[in-house]
Structure 1
Amino acid sequence: MFQGEIAALSAAGLWAFATLMFGRLGKQLPPLVLNLVKGAMAIGLIVLTLAVRQQLLASLPIRSVVLLLVSGVVGIGLGDTAYFATVNALGARRALLLEMLAPPMAALMSLIFLQEQLAVVAWVGMALTIGGIVWVVSERSPKAEGTGSPMGVIFGIMAALGQSIGSVLSRAALADTVVDPLWSSLLRLSAGLVCIGGLLLWRRQTVAPNGIRFSSRLLGGVAIAAFFGTYLAIWLQQIALKHSPAGIAQSLLATSPIMVLPMALIIGERVTPRAICGAVVALLGIWLLFSH
């Protein structure tokens, strides 16, 4: 029971950890390059896992394959790159705030295109979850982040739209089909990687721009972040989208800012009463999502 919901929360926890690392790595690597490198590493891990599980050969429905490839281009190739650009322009806190547009977008798209009806209690739970997260991430930080540029806001909206479209397409490809979430992860990441490579060529940007040195320490950091934040997290995300409605899955996947709070306490950072209250509200929303 609740296999999709548990997978979504697990993915959110991994993304919270990886976000802390991507925030530091983003200062050393441009968004497209970071997205390309971590995606390539994750694909290698997925292929290795499929080989170990003896699932490298699979018969997949053509419709699902097409939906997943488009989902990868929109959600990973364009959406993730726009998100990294938002973090660079606005800072992580405001980028996460704009990302909260994704769950209601996904729920509405699922209602329109997939006819996924949610109970009233599920909508209330979604609203409380998103409200609690917004309360946490909208708190003023003593450290100024980003410049607040209009382009940063545009990138943030694009990132949320890409995430929601990618989620709905994945849900359409996975629900009531025999497609394994690991295979859907491989297809989405591969399509996203091709898209990123195309963007790099279009911008005439090399994988190693001038001034960037791929030291063993830098590659090690990207590898760790890719393992937890891409390989495992996207696998769990696909499990969540296979077993739960897109709106609910996206709401639970968006709880990363709440997951960051205990991590902040562990490393000795101060957590404010407002952040704790926001977390409690979000947890109440999560409880309603599990009880719908």
Structure 2
Amino acid sequence: MKKLTFAYEMKLTFSAPVTEHRFQLRCAPVTGPRQQVIDVNVQMDPPVALESTIDSFGSLVMTGYLPEAHTEFGYRATGIAFVDNANIKEEPFKPLYRFQSALTRPGSAVGALVGICRARLEALDGADELDRARVIMDEVYGAFDYTPGSTTVQTTAEEAFAQRKGVCQDYAHVMLAVCRGLGIPSRYIAGLLDGEGATHAWIEVYHDRRWIGLDPTHNRMVDDNYITIAHGRDYRDCMLDIGVFSGDTVTQSQWVNASVHESLV
């Protein structure tokens, strides 16, 4: 077990004043099967009241409304997470994680990778879902180049893999596409990892009644250094912030920063 102190900050700057700003945040982790979260604090700028609920995937969702004109919007989420990957609690299986989603649906490029992985898996003797997922992770890692700016949040697994480059979100989507294509239930995770400077994405596969994490961007198993914020079928179920507002020809720029530090238990 590790005790991790975390902070996640996001700031939007608008080129002109905006009003009628309605937003939805998934920026704070909650207690779950592999972590206990305490002392969570979310500070908003400008100050605004938040309403909280838990979505159908179990992630904390906060919503708010800023009717007044403003040119900046941001938040800072802090807290402490006790992460214990050695004692992950059991969870009931949800069949939807067997099926492809909008961002993981494979085409010819991902389909070819599924074929390569299938051939490797057929050579394994007595492999379980976790063993098979490790093989898939290794193939995804070896076939990708980590290239910031090469994709957007709308890029699908097929589009990213066709160009063989992307970021953590794309690695996760491609691995999900292959796992699901080979019958391995899997889900997308958005969270925090020390050293990233921003949020990170990885996947989990369902094995022995538990969800086990794998990080294809780094080709390693998820350990106690990872804090889960949200999970779902793909990125669209785990967007940390989304909103709509009124404004006249407004552009926006975003700044984010994330930090995770280990503390003594």
Q: Taking structure 2 as the reference length, what is the TM-score of the superposition?
A: 0.27
| Greater per-residue strand proportion | 2
Q: Taking structure 1 as the reference length, what is the TM-score of the superposition?
A: 0.25
Higher RCO (C-alpha 8 Å, min separation 6)? 1
Larger radius of gyration between Structure 1 and Structure 2: 2
| Greater per-residue helix proportion | 1
